[in-house]
């Protein structure tokens, strides 16, 4: 944990104000406000095209909004007023902010030309210039935490999807981020491999890591998240505790979305029983 985390426990981990982003004519985000407090586990849900992945990518500026403000632990790092940069951060300052935010991708995006351990050590080595031995010890402890210590000398291509995703979580953690972003971390996995990744994430959540998770796993949202944010057509359509949002949808859009999942579950029942 970094020093500012302890110094200011009440400042939000991430706060987002009126974020707007369009690709050509299509407005993907049309004014999103979101405040994520330290220790929050936020499940970001919504149908495809609702802008949830784009919103997540905006949080570490992998996507650049045309308007809005974003700050990390009270440090503003993005402020555009209708396309005009009000903050003028240098590329180096933006990179420094990114290094404090961990990200886990749907397709893992491990570096295929490096072994597992080198993947996990790469961030602190290249970005922070950290000493090899401290870096290695911490990297190994994170690999152990995600259950991948025995695979340290393996090549990423020899791993299963679930193993790759656990390594990529360790890679993000080894930067000791203040916030972890997860972009549909289990969507590319075979069903039997989803559990090992979710259990790693549950463990992280229990330890108080601030997490923002774009997910289709409503079960995860219900059981692990302490907050569900439902995005629809580029705006926050519902925001609250999972049980409220998922069990008693506050409006028709959420109801329609949640019902589709319940219906799928109902439809599956006869097949599950017949086995």
Partner 1 sequence: MFDWSAITQNSHLIWSGVLITLEYTVITSLIGLVIGLIVALMQLTSNKIVVVIGRLFVEFFRNIPLLVWLLWAYYALPIFMGINISKEAAGILALSLYGAAYFAEIFRAGIQSIDSGQSDAAVALGMSYRQMNVRVILPQALRRMIPPLAGQMIIQLKNTTLLAVITVPDLLYQAEYIASFTYRPLEVYTTIALVFLAILVPLTYIARRLEQKEVKS
- The answer to the question of residue 90 lying near partner 1 (CB under 8 A) is no
Contacting residue, 9, 88, 112, 191, with partner 1 by CB under 8 A: 112
- The answer to the question of residue 2 lying near partner 1 (CB under 8 A) is no
The residue length of the chain stands at 275
Q: Which residues pair with 30 in a beta bridge?
A: 20
Options 47-55, 77-85, 170-178, 214-222: segment touching partner 1 (CB under 8 A): 170-178
Q: Shortest distance, CB of residue 246 to partner 1, whole angstroms?
A: 29
- The answer to the question of residue 220 lying near partner 1 (CB under 8 A) is no
Options 7-15, 19-27, 165-173, 215-223: segment touching partner 1 (CB under 8 A): 165-173
Burial state string for 220-229 with b = 16 or more CB within 10 A and e = fewer than 16: bbbebbebbb
Q: Which is nearer to partner 1, 50 or 53 (CB)?
A: 53
What does residue 227 show for φ and ψ, rounded to 5 degrees? -160, 140
Contacting residue, 4, 39, 87, 96, with partner 1 by CB under 8 A: 96
Instruction: Count CB neighbours of 14 within 10 A.
Output: 23
Q: How far is CA 29 from CA 12, 67, 98, in A?
A: 22, 10, 21
Contacting residue, 33, 62, 149, 154, with partner 1 by CB under 8 A: 62
With contact defined as beta carbons under 8 Å apart, do 174 and 124 qualify? yes
Three-class SS string for 231-265?
EECCEEEEEECHHHHHHCCCCHHHHHHHHHHHHHH
- The answer to the question of residue 111 lying near partner 1 (CB under 8 A) is yes
Residues binding partner 1 (CB under 8 A)? 60, 62, 91-92, 95-103, 105, 107-113, 122-123, 126-127, 168, 171-172, 175
């Amino acid at each position: 944990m970094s020093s500012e985390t302890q110094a200011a426990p009440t400042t939000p981990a991430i706060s987002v104000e009126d974020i707007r982003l369009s690709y050509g004519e299509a407005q993907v985000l049309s004014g999103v406000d979101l405040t994520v407090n330290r220790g929050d586990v936020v499940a970001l849900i919504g149908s495809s095209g609702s802008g949830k992945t784009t919103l997540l990518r905006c949080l570490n500026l992998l996507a650049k909004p045309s308007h809005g403000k974003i700050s990390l632990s009270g440090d503003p790092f993005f402020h555009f007023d209708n396309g005009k940069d009000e903050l003028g951060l240098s590329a180096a300052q933006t990179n420094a902010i990114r290094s404090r935010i961990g990200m886990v991708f749907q397709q893992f995006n491990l570096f295929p030309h490096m072994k597992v351990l080198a993947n996990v050590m790469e961030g602190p080595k290249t970005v922070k210039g950290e000493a090899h031995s401290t870096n290695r010890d911490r990297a190994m402890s994170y690999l152990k935490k995600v259950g991948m210590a025995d695979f340290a000398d393996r090549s990423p291509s020899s791993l299963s999807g679930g193993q790759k995703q656990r390594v990529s979580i360790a890679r993000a953690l080894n930067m000791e981020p203040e916030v972890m972003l997860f972009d549909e971390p289990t969507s590319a996995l075979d069903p039997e491999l989803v559990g090992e990744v979710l259990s790693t994430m549950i463990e992280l959540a229990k330890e108080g890591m601030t997490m923002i998770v774009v997910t289709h796993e409503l079960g995860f949202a219900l059981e692990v998240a302490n907050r569900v944010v439902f995005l629809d057509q580029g705006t926050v359509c519902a925001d609250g505790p999972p049980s409220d949002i998922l069990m008693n949808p506050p409006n028709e859009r959420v109801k329609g979305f949640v019902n589709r999942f319940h219906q799928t579950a109902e439809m599956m029942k006869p097949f599950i029983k017949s086995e």
